[in-house]
């Protein structure tokens, strides 16, 4: 075996092939051999493939773990290899720049400086990256994602604020809570019980008010939740390997299952919940993984029919972003950076300004700002109706608009 590198899903990263008497490298599953980007013929095949899809009308590409294409296994380098940006610029020249495409690269190791290279406005690499600094905050430092820790809320604000400031005019942010590898955000940082609707809307408002391109993962717009199954019902290779490895290391079964319920990628991979019919309307056959049992209460049909639903909140946020240029182009300013309950910020474009105020937790709070001298228009609130403007209900979120200036409190 060339060296002792481990695969992300457990076990060695090298696999012996008797027929050719050689090892191949796989950073992930043994069924996913890594490509050798050092080979110019291989790179050309990739560019030809991309262009073939563009000719078919595809308008964008998501590039999985793109920061690992320039790996050097002999040196145990997997992320951000020395030729990474060279390869990306070549890919852009040979394919992306030949059409009007949206390109986003998954880059777990990206910081703001790398993101500026990836998403430079000159278009030499990609449109933007998925970065995960905010997503990794609630795990114990130096440990794995399965080692749970409370969310450091002030750090979450600092991370978002830094990415907004650093990329302004020098790159482009992606805005997301969920994807196919992550647990459902309403179960993770919201309240998927009593305040599921309110907290799901609050998380949507918090994200959509920022600069960047929002990504909505299937079911997020419905407030779909994590699904706590027994181990026999999970399908994800990472989850199954983790279960065996931790039991062998002496972890308690209840602790292992608690981590799986909170973090398994299968939380994001349960069938889409369309309606109240069999298998949530996803299929009349047997789906590869069981439908979340709450599909009769949480499904697209009921959300669409309810004008006050999470779904309609997302629709309104999308409409507002299209109507008000300040959502797209406005400068970002974090407010109340030391407040341990409220996430608030402004977006400013000329004389136009947004004020976004989100109560991140399930308790009633005093509204943190003085009544402005100039009236502000409430563009969106997640409680609706006439309310006491000086009180924030649990998980309440508001977006105000004014052509004047909203002063930050001292």
* Cα dihedral value 399, 400, 405, 410, nearest 10: -60
Is 106 part of the annotated catalytic residue set? yes
Catalytic residue among 4, 34, 45, 64: 64
| Residue 70 CA to its chain's centroid (Å) | 24
Number of continuous H segments (helices) and E segments (strands) in the chain:
11, 14
Q: How far apart are CA 177 and CA 369, in angstroms?
A: 27
Which has the closest alpha carbon to 349: 376, 375, 331, 322? 331
Q: How far apart are CA 44 and CA 25, in angstroms?
A: 21
DSSP designation for 68: G
Which has the closest alpha carbon to 168: 109, 116, 105, 110? 116
Question: Which residues on neighbouring strands pair with residue 401, listed in sequence order?
Answer: 354, 377
- 309 close to 318: Cβ distance less than 8 angstroms: no
Is 64 part of the annotated catalytic residue set? yes
Question: Strands 60-63 and 102-106, how do they pair?
Answer: parallel
Catalytic residue among 106, 138, 221, 266: 106
- 178 close to 185: Cβ distance less than 8 angstroms: yes
What residues are labeled active site?
64, 106
């Amino acid at each position: 075996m060339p060296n002792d590198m481990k695969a992300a899903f457990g076990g060695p990263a090298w696999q012996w092939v008797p027929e050719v008497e050689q090892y191949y490298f796989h950073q992930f599953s043994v069924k996913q051999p890594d490509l050798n980007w050092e080979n110019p013929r291989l790179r050309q095949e990739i560019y030809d493939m991309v262009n073939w899809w563009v000719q078919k009308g595809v308008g964008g590409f998501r590039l999985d773990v793109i920061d690992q294409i320039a790996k050097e296994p002999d040196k145990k380098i997997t992320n951000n290899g020395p030729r990474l940006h060279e390869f990306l610029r070549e890919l852009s020249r040979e394919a992306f720049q030949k059409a009007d495409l949206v390109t986003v690269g998954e880059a777990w190791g990206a910081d703001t400086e790398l993101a500026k290279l990836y998403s430079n406005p000159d278009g030499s690499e990609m449109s933007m990256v998925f970065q995960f600094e905010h997503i990794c905050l609630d795990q114990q430092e130096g440990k794995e994602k399965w080692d749970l820790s409370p969310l450091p809320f002030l750090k979450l604000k600092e991370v978002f604020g830094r990415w907004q400031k650093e990329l302004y005019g020098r790159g482009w942010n992606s805005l997301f809570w969920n994807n196919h590898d992550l647990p459902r955000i309403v179960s993770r940082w919201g309240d998927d019980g009593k305040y599921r609707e309110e907290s799901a809307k609050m998380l949507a408002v918090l994200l959509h008010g920022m600069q960047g391109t929002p990504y909505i993962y299937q079911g997020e717009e419905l407030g779909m939740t994590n699904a706590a199954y027994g181990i026999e019902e999970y399908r994800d290779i990472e989850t199954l390997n983790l279960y065996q490895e931790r039991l062998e290391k002496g972890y308690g079964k209840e602790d292992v299952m608690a981590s799986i319920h909170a973090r398994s990628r299968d939380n994001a991979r349960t069938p889409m919940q369309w309606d109240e019919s069999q298998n949530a309307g996803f299929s009349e056959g047997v789906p590869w993984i069981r439908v979340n049992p709450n599909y009769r209460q949480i499904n697209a049909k009921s959300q669409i029919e309810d004008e006050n639903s999470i779904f309609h909140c997302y629709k309104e946020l999308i409409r507002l972003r299209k109507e008000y240029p300040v959502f797209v182009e406005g400068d970002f300013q974090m407010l109340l950076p030391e407040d341990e309950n409220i996430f608030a910020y402004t977006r400013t474009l000329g004389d136009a300004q947004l004020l976004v105020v989100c109560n991140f937790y399930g308790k009633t709070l005093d509204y943190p700002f003085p009544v402005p001298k100039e009236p502000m228009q409430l563009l969106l609130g997640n409680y609706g109706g006439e309310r006491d403007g000086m009180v924030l209900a649990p998980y309440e979120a508001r977006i105000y608009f004014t052509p004047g200036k909203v002063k930050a409190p001292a």
